[in-house]
Structure 1
Amino acid sequence: MWKIGDGTQVNICSENWVPGRGPLIYSQDLFVKLNLSKVSMLINHDGHCWRRDLIELVFNPGTTTNILSIPLSMHGGCDVFHWPGTSDGQYTTKEGYSFLRKLLARDEASSSTMLTLAPKFWKKFWASRALPRCKETCWRALSGYLSLKERLFRCRVDVDPSCSFCAAELEEEDHLFLHCPAVKQVWFASQLAVRVDLFSSFIEFWLAAVELDDDDAVATIQSTIYALWEAQNSICFQQREFVVAGVLQRVRSSMEEAIVRDHDRGPMTALPARWKKPAPGTIKCNFDASFHDRGPSGLGMVARNSDGEVMVAACSLPITTLSPLLAEAMSMRWTMQLAINLGFRRIYLEMDHAIQEGRSYLSSIIHDCRLLLSAFDYVSVSIVRRTSNTVADFMARNAETYANLVWVEEVHVAAFHLVISDVMTQLPVRA
């Protein structure tokens, strides 16, 4: 799709340039009356920003939000094509293959089942205490990525597409993991004692399992799927027989291994990493962004001198952005502009996210940041842990409350304890 620079090459109606899956909905009468044609007519080139009033007048709210979420470069630039599926906008054969695989999986699954696998489902799915290999195998089964014989046969691989366990039906997910007579025995004999006849599909079975809100049940199901897949591989490659007791024993051993792993690993603790004072004569600017999908993304920053004293703190609430990386890049550009306006000439920039370039909108923001470098005598950019960026993170997360406010030589009272904490960690410890 098009990445908008100055908009002179892109036709509003006939080109693919607006992010989001929805159609481009606009008032046809107003469109004709205003004689709109190119995207450049929607841009205020003096301020390098969208003509918000015009866009809200012509387009419906959904399309308006999608258009305003496109970040414009401060310096215009040319319209270029980019691949929207990656953060850098670069197309690779791997990305194209992944895109086609997703289309194929979406076509094979019914629209209802695809919609039911919501983020809440996957959160519970990955939070279980099953072994990683069990969760991965189950995810591949749900996503249609397992090399089942029926799928291989459709790809013109010379294999018998019948089930490895019963040889009576085609080997696909619903049959192999649910409806095969041999597999039904496994589910009924397991500690869950499940009667799988009640479920029409593998995905329906999983949705019911997650709704139980039982972590042990989810882990047991994931371990059972892995044991069944392991049994299928043993039959295909080692000519072994299918034994229900053997599959159940493999499930128990996987669950026991998971318990031992969690016990041996112990509680996870973060590495000690705190904010550090900059060198004398320089200002350290920490910045961050809070990203909300299709909602307002807040920006926050704090600048401190070599004594840890706050020179300035600020919040900003821009329009919606397309991704967390774009929000981070916009935060860096905004922080550099603010530093220039305040007369800072030797600065350290610290963030807790890596940003890469490419052909995406991200590269336009980074290009702006590169052009702003000439206004400084010295600039250093570092990526730090979130524990070293707590004040900026607080400002960004609360940008909606303190929108577009600037505190000179102070910080909001709610963030004062974070500033004190950063300074206190710099003090020498007496013996």
Structure 2
Amino acid sequence: MFKVEDFWMEHEDFRKLVQQQWKNNQGQNIWEQWSENYNNFKSQVSEWSNRNLTNAIEVITPLVSTTMNNELIKNVSMQEVEAAVFGLGASKAPGPDGLNGRQIQDNIVMAHEAFHFILNHYTEASGQMINTMKSGIVFSKGMDRLHQKTSAWQVGNGENINMWFDRWLCSNEKIWPLNNVQLDLKVKNLLKDGERKWDEEKIRHLVDLNTARYILATQINETGPDKVIWPYAIDGNYSVKSGYHCAIKDCLSQEEGTSRSREQDSKLWNSIWKAKVQPKVRNFIWKLCKNAIPVRDNLARRKMKVDNQCPICLKEIETTEHCFIFCEKAKAIWFGSLFQWANPNEANLSIVDWIEDRILFLSNATEDAERFCAYFFNLLWALWKSRNEFCFEGNKEDPINILARVEVLTNEFLACHNANSNRDSNSSVTDINSDVWSPPSVGVVKINVDAAMEIDKCRGALSVVVRDHKGEVLTGSVKRFPCVSVLQAEGLAVKEAVMMCSALDIKEAIIESDCKLVVDFCNDRYKSWQLETILEGTNELLRSNNGIKVNWISRKKNMVADFLAREAIKNTLCCTWVWCPPVRLRALLLKDKYPKLF
């Protein structure tokens, strides 16, 4: 632009135009003269400079050719990307993702044909749809091992599943092969000839009794083929989130030297999350047990340039244990508290072990354990808050004031919590008729189902009871079967009710279950690979017969089916219970039939 201005100012016509316009309107007010001359000059310059430059452009030689333009705007090829990626220096400075050249080259494979080949075979095997228009895929070195270790099979015809080396049992475990067995045995060899049912005689001949129970409890897809599933997702489809959590658990399980068991951690977390304190205090205690509190020693170990000396006593390094137990201020607070601990950590335990030890001590040594645990957690929170106020605001609070504030906070929260609990219990007392079974309309039958479990014996039981609009029992059924989960048992109970409707040619029926997951699955509101195996054919029958509905009810409205399932699991029901019910069952039936009398 400046070159053009210089060209104009050196041009002879431009000079004449300026002189001519600036000499006009002599004798007027100087400001009016200046303004009018300026406007006239601007319009004249615009007219003078608005000339056709086509001839000038034609003689200019273009520096960017058509070939160069086509190269610039064409799509990037996989070869160019590969050359750019693998042309990076091994020690090149990392980008925002933290990866240098060697890490990128070791973990990324960009091959267009191979990418589509892998995804097509994966979608064919798993049934999961994938966007094949993406330009790359990342392979982790451990994903193949993790996939083989954690993926499982959903049994269909059993032709593709190796009995010994594939993961297909409902317990998500592999079967250890015995001596002198056929190692290439397929699961289809455990099925009855021409049927999709387990052959118990073959199974008991090949495996021990406990494994046989798990095999018999494994559900078989009645229509579909064998299918690879991801057992750590509810719908059986792999997701990055579930794969990440599975990989983390796999890494943690391989770590050695840990002194804490999973059962210990579970008890500690339950004590923390059930404590009667504010949610922010519970979160703080959890972080404290994980040593995730930003005391100065933790900050220094994370390469932050801080003085790791305790800001309170200025004597020792501020570790988590020092900040909350051994510091002079912490010792004063523990001694002045209701506990009066002169030396609260004689065994020199880590912070997590010390907190667990104190919780156990308070739970066993005091009658009001709930209140003292809450008081203990609030003291830890107050210690941290007081430390931060001193570090960032310069406020040095007296330990006596901290103790008084903690006691008030504990008492107020417990009083409020107890008041809410009483209010909830009072509001739950409603009309008795809201918790009783209701009969169906005339011409419709109501079928109540329920299930019970004996987990240690891998055994379940279901009950089905059919009643009319008067509350009279028309028919029913109870069964015992191999089972490993309550969800599986509840699904089989609904399946039995639907099969009964089909066998008895019932057109109008309401099936009621107190398992909401099964009810939502039957109404296409929930997906589960476990229920899909059990209820796939059942859902097809429900879709073909609009007169049969599956509804959810509360346990209080399902007491008859609940009683029958619990008696069935104990094998104490006589075979004549439908027309000659036992006393307890008769009382429940009368209560459902005449609720106002009870």
Using a 3 Å threshold, how does the CA distance of structure 1 residues 408 and 178 change in structure 2: closer, same or farther? Answer: same
More deviation, 257-266/57-66: 57-66
Residue in 2 that maps onto 1:417: 587
Distance 2:384 2:580 in 1: 61
Residue in 1 that maps onto 2:506: 344
Q: Are the aligned partners of 1:314 and 1:395 in contact in 2 as well (CA < 8 Å)?
A: no
Residue in 1 that maps onto 2:63: none
Distance 1:349 1:89 in 2: 27
Q: Are the aligned partners of 2:310 and 2:317 in contact in 1 as well (CA < 8 Å)?
A: no
Q: Are the aligned partners of 1:227 and 1:247 in contact in 2 as well (CA < 8 Å)?
A: yes
The residue type equivalent to 2:595 in the other structure is T
| Structure 1 unaligned blocks of 5 or more | none
* Cα displacement (A) at 1:333: 1.0
Asked whether 1:370 is paired with 2:518, we answer no
* Cα displacement (A) at 1:354: 1.9
Using a 3 Å threshold, how does the CA distance of structure 1 residues 396 and 139 change in structure 2: closer, same or farther? Answer: farther
Deviations 1:234-266 (A, max 9, x none): 578767657644553453233212322134221
* Cα displacement (A) at 1:225: 4.0
Residue in 2 that maps onto 1:13: 164
The residue type equivalent to 1:383 in the other structure is W
Distance 1:234 1:87 in 2: 46
Deviations 1:1-35 (A, max 9, x none): 22323222222333333354766323132x23xx6
1:48 corresponds to which of 186, 196, 210: 196
Using a 3 Å threshold, how does the CA distance of structure 1 residues 123 and 50 change in structure 2: closer, same or farther? Answer: farther
Residue in 2 that maps onto 1:400: 569
Q: Are the aligned partners of 1:182 and 1:244 in contact in 2 as well (CA < 8 Å)?
A: yes
Distance 1:163 1:349 in 2: 68
Give secondary structure in 1 for the equivalent of 2:459.
coil
* Cα displacement (A) at 1:284: 0.9
More deviation, 335-344/131-140: 131-140
Distance 1:63 1:184 in 2: 56
Asked whether 1:354 is paired with 2:549, we answer no
The residue type equivalent to 1:15 in the other structure is D
Q: Are the aligned partners of 1:287 and 1:335 in contact in 2 as well (CA < 8 Å)?
A: yes
Distance 2:186 2:307 in 1: 54
Asked whether 1:216 is paired with 2:341, we answer no
Using a 3 Å threshold, how does the CA distance of structure 1 residues 371 and 21 change in structure 2: closer, same or farther? Answer: closer
Residue in 1 that maps onto 2:55: none
1:382 corresponds to which of 551, 555, 565: 551
Q: Are the aligned partners of 1:26 and 1:60 in contact in 2 as well (CA < 8 Å)?
A: no
The residue type equivalent to 2:548 in the other structure is V
* Cα displacement (A) at 1:388: 1.5
Using a 3 Å threshold, how does the CA distance of structure 1 residues 231 and 384 change in structure 2: closer, same or farther? Answer: farther
Distance 2:227 2:277 in 1: 48
Using a 3 Å threshold, how does the CA distance of structure 1 residues 186 and 236 change in structure 2: closer, same or farther? Answer: same
Distance 1:287 1:346 in 2: 16
* Cα displacement (A) at 1:360: 1.9
More deviation, 87-96/312-321: 87-96
Residue in 2 that maps onto 1:27: 178
Using a 3 Å threshold, how does the CA distance of structure 1 residues 263 and 405 change in structure 2: closer, same or farther? Answer: same
Residue in 2 that maps onto 1:200: 349
Deviations 1:184-215 (A, max 9, x none): 44434322234222362344441563364433
Using a 3 Å threshold, how does the CA distance of structure 1 residues 171 and 120 change in structure 2: closer, same or farther? Answer: closer
Distance 1:277 1:149 in 2: 64
Asked whether 1:3 is paired with 2:153, we answer yes
Q: Are the aligned partners of 1:4 and 1:79 in contact in 2 as well (CA < 8 Å)?
A: yes
Distance 1:91 1:151 in 2: 40
* Cα displacement (A) at 1:165: 6.6
Distance 2:309 2:436 in 1: 57
Asked whether 1:74 is paired with 2:225, we answer no
The residue type equivalent to 1:217 in the other structure is F
Q: Are the aligned partners of 1:276 and 1:426 in contact in 2 as well (CA < 8 Å)?
A: no
Using a 3 Å threshold, how does the CA distance of structure 1 residues 8 and 276 change in structure 2: closer, same or farther? Answer: same
* Cα displacement (A) at 1:133: 4.4
Q: Are the aligned partners of 1:71 and 1:321 in contact in 2 as well (CA < 8 Å)?
A: no
Q: Are the aligned partners of 2:453 and 2:460 in contact in 1 as well (CA < 8 Å)?
A: yes
Q: Are the aligned partners of 1:349 and 1:380 in contact in 2 as well (CA < 8 Å)?
A: yes
Percent sequence identity is: 21
Distance 1:337 1:226 in 2: 59
How many pairs align? 421
More deviation, 109-118/343-352: 109-118
Could you say which structure has the larger radius of gyration?
A: 2
The residue type equivalent to 1:378 in the other structure is G
User: Any residues of structure 2 matched to 1:286-297 within 5 Å, and which?
Assistant: 286-294=448-456, 295-297=458-460
Residue in 1 that maps onto 2:93: none
Residue in 1 that maps onto 2:408: 253
Deviations 1:155-199 (A, max 9, x none): 968585958776855755x66655666544443432223422236
More deviation, 151-160/383-392: 151-160
TM-score (structure 2 length as normaliser): 0.59
Deviations 1:275-301 (A, max 9, x none): 111121111111122345454233223
Q: Are the aligned partners of 2:288 and 2:352 in contact in 1 as well (CA < 8 Å)?
A: no
Using a 3 Å threshold, how does the CA distance of structure 1 residues 165 and 155 change in structure 2: closer, same or farther? Answer: closer
Give secondary structure in 2 for the equivalent of 1:49.
coil
Asked whether 1:57 is paired with 2:227, we answer no
Q: Are the aligned partners of 1:90 and 1:359 in contact in 2 as well (CA < 8 Å)?
A: no
* Cα displacement (A) at 1:64: 3.6
User: Any residues of structure 2 matched to 1:252-331 within 5 Å, and which?
Assistant: 252-265=407-420, 266=422, 268=425, 269=428, 272-294=434-456, 295-322=458-485, 324-331=486-493
Q: Are the aligned partners of 1:125 and 1:210 in contact in 2 as well (CA < 8 Å)?
A: no
The residue type equivalent to 2:556 in the other structure is T
Give secondary structure in 2 for the equivalent of 1:71.
coil
TM-score (structure 1 length as normaliser): 0.79
* Cα displacement (A) at 1:395: 1.9
Distance 1:321 1:8 in 2: 24
Q: Are the aligned partners of 1:88 and 1:362 in contact in 2 as well (CA < 8 Å)?
A: no
Distance 2:466 2:272 in 1: 41
Q: Are the aligned partners of 1:187 and 1:196 in contact in 2 as well (CA < 8 Å)?
A: no
* Cα displacement (A) at 1:305: 0.8
Deviations 1:88-140 (A, max 9, x none): 33333333444455556667796552244286766666555444544454345
More helix, by proportion: 2
Deviations 1:321-379 (A, max 9, x none): 24x32222122112222333344332101112222443622222231321333675611
